[in-house]
Amino acid sequence: MTEPLIQIRDLRTYLYTRRGVVKAVDGISFDIHEGEIVGLVGESGSGKTMTSLSILQLVPQPAGRIVGGSIMFEGEDLLTLPESRLQEIRGERISMILQDPLTALNPVYSIGNQVAEPFQFHPKEDGRGATIRNRVVEVLQRVGIPAAETRVKDFPHQFSGGMRQRVCAAIAIAPRPRLLIADEPTTALDVTIQAQFLRLLKQLQQEFNLAVLYITHDLGVVARLCNRVVVMYAGKIVETGDVTRIYKQPAHPYTQGLMQSVPRLGMKRERLFQIQGQPPDFLDLPQGCPFWPRCPQAQDVCKVEEPPVAAVGTAGTVRCWFPDLTGATQPVSSAV
């Protein structure tokens, strides 16, 4: 396999609050290769969005601070670069689609002005002026905005939710980035529009050979879209692997719980499976494995010592004292 496009090693991002230190990202490591879609999954509050913000050096200030690790991207450690160099990379080499398109877009600027910004801040050989408008129209057409020549003058409130998310995608792909981070981009969309947007994202990824970090808690979307899966819990990565192995033979009890909680057509149950308990308080994490209070397989060692990372399959890992390397679950539907 070729060298990864981005290598994240032992990344630690902490939030310093009045109540104490929140270890939002606590020593995670994973890679993304060129042309690969990696799904980052986990419950709300597990550290997924903070991971993406750490890659772009956009953690909330003044509380947020990256305290350790490295993020190697195209031969450069993003954590050691000056702000001037980071501004060159953001938007041009690494782009991001945010969760809510209504708040991501500026309501007082036209769509054309906002899509033009990447071309203005990262000018290519095509030049400026009228050429930029032509490129804006072209990229809007590419993401499926009808009548793009006239709609460049419209404002975000004049677009539907699905069309606004397409505009956000246009802004992200305009400078032809190498890595695209999509932070739950379909959460605010209905099921039909979700399917349309995912088809668009897959098409763009194949057309430009994009590497994509897709952040979500929708396991059906991951099954349909991703090549590999990274599962987070309480700021740590608990399991990684290719999507087929993760969905057919999840090794970590938390991953198994996520898979079993997905509703499946044709299966009759009185109620859906649920992982017992609540996600942990980051300011009062339990000793040992952070999942043990909710784990049906927890034993004494889980309550006192943090589990090691073990290899699973050819390229997977699991952080558990007693991983289930033979268990299997029903496949999750990829229908969206």
Indicate if 235 and 224 belong to the same structural domain: yes
Provide the residue range defining the domain that includes 270. 32-63+81-93+178-287+299-336
Q: Which runs of E-coded beta strand occur in 201-303? A: 211-216, 228-233, 236-242
Total domains, the chain: 2
pLDDT at 329: 43
Cis peptide before 250 (omega within 30 of 0): no
Together in a domain, 50 and 197: yes
Residue pair 222/243 in contact by the 8 Å Cβ criterion:
yes
* Cα 109 to Cα 99: distance, rounded to the nearest angstrom: 20
Q: How many residues does the chain have?
A: 336
- Is residue 38 in some structural domain? yes
320 and 279, same structural domain? yes
247, 310: one domain: yes
Please check whether residues 185 and 106 belong to one and the same domain: no
For residue 276, being part of any structural domain is answered with: yes
Amino acid 65: pLDDT: 95
Q: For residues 247 and 318, state if they share a domain.
A: yes
**Is residue 256 domain-resident?**
yes
| Residue from 266, 244, 247, 242 nearest 258 by CA | 247
Looking at residue 299, its pLDDT comes to 93
Query: How many angstroms separate the CA atoms of 225 and 185, rounded?
Result: 13
Tell me, yes or no, whether 15 lies in a domain: no
- Residue 22 domain-assigned (yes or no): no
- Looking at the domain assignment, is residue 8 inside a domain? no
Please tell me the predicted confidence (pLDDT) of residue 328: 43
Q: Which residues pair with 32 in a beta bridge?
A: 6
Within a domain: 11: no
Give Cβ neighbours of residue 15 (< 8 Å, ≥ 6 apart): 21, 22, 24, 60, 63, 64, 65
Alpha helices (H) in 177-305, listed in sequence order: 191-208, 219-225, 243-248, 253-260
| Sign, CA torsion 135/58/243/166 | negative
First to last CA, the chain: 31
pTM of the model: 0.89
Would residue 16 count as lying in a domain?
no
The domain boundary, picked from 119, 147, 176, lies at 176
Q: Say yes or no: 134 and 250 in one domain.
A: no
Indicate the SS3 state at residue 84.
Answer: helix
pLDDT of residue 106: 93
Distances from the Cα of 221 to the Cαs of 15, 41, 178, in angstroms?
30, 11, 22
Say yes or no: 279 and 323 in one domain: yes
- pLDDT at residue number 334: 40
200 and 307, same domain (yes or no): yes
Last residue of a domain, one of 153, 176, 199: 176
Q: Give yes or no: residues 166 and 203 share one domain.
A: no
Phi, psi of 244 (to 5 degrees): -65, -45
Provide the residue-wise pLDDT of the chain in tens; the chain has 336 residues: 578 999 999 999 999 999 999 999 999 999 999 999 999 999 988 999 999 999 999 999 899 999 999 999 999 999 999 999 999 999 889 999 988 888 889 999 999 999 998 888 877 654 444 588 888 999 999 888 999 999 999 999 999 888 998 899 899 988 889 999 999 888 777 888 888 888 888 988 998 899 999 999 888 889 889 999 999 999 999 999 999 999 889 999 999 998 887 776 666 666 777 888 888 899 999 999 999 999 988 999 999 999 999 998 778 999 999 998 765 444 444 433
Distance between CA atoms of 93 and 5, rounded to whole angstroms?
11
Last residue of a domain, one of 122, 155, 176: 176
CB 143 within 8 A of CB 167: yes
Residue 30 CB burial class (10 angstroms; 0-12, 13-18, ≥19): buried
d(CA 126, CA 176): 14
- 281 CB-side CA count, 13 A: 4
78 C-beta neighbours (distance < 10 Å), count: 22
CATH number at residue 217: 3.40.50.300
My answer on whether 168 and 277 are in the same domain is: no
Residues 6 or more apart in contact with residue 60 via CB below 8 angstroms: 15, 53
Nearest CA-CA partner of 96 in 213, 205, 187: 213
User: Are residues 56 and 43 both part of a single domain?
Assistant: yes
pLDDT the model gives residue 335: 36
